[in-house]
Amino acid sequence: MDPYFGEIRLFGFDYPTNGWALCNGQLLPIRQYSALYALLGVQFGGDGVNTFALPNYNGRAPMGQGTGSGLPPTVTGDTNGSETVALNTVQMPYHDHTVSAYLQADNRLTAPTTGASLASSMRASSFLGGSITPNTTFHPMTLSVAGNSLPHENRQPYLVLNYCIALEGVFPSFS
């Protein structure tokens, strides 16, 4: 069965087959691909005089047009979202990082008394492979702020497949 011009399919290999192109945002000449240009126009980029762009699905997920509940309206060609996001303290819910310490003596765990040190027993010292000084202060990074406002990965789980667009085939009818 012949594909429609502009039909997009997933391929499980790393190259487009004959008559297809990767959806990677590349620019194509209008003269050579006038039928595809008639369908896509410049909604994905290009100057509209000499070139037009194919959709770019690199690092993206497809999304339908229209309006979803509580979402802004989207039209064909829109790109939304981000691969990485930097969180700030306003976006994080309140939480704290407390440390619970227990003394271990004779293989029984007991809650420490007020003023007890985290590493006061000889057993903990030998278990950790060195001498531990009682009543010491934690390293500043133990319970400090983390992240440094650097972006973190924000993409949903993915499987590597290639979106390809048909460069030839049947021109879809408007009726």
Please report the pLDDT score of residue 167 as a whole number.
95
Asked if 63 and 77 count as a contact pair (C-beta separation under 8 A), the reply is no
93 contacts: CB under 8 Å, gap ≥ 6: none
Q: What is the pLDDT of residues 74-124, one digit of tens each?
A: 888 888 777 788 877 777 777 766 665 555 555 555 555 555 555 444 444
List, for residues 37-59, the tens digit of each pLDDT value: 999 999 999 999 999 999 998 87
Give the span between the Cα atoms of 119 and 48, in whole angstroms: 71
Residue 36 CA: distances (Å) to CA of 11, 20, 164:
20, 11, 13
| Domains of the chain as residue ranges with CATH | 1-61+158-175 (3.90.1340.10), 98-132 (no CATH)
pLDDT over 70, % of the chain: 69
Q: Global pTM? A: 0.61
* Buried/exposed 52-85: b ≥16 CB within 10 Å, e otherwise: bbbbbbeebeeeeeeeeeeeeeeeeeeeeeeeee
Six-digit token string for 65: 């047009």
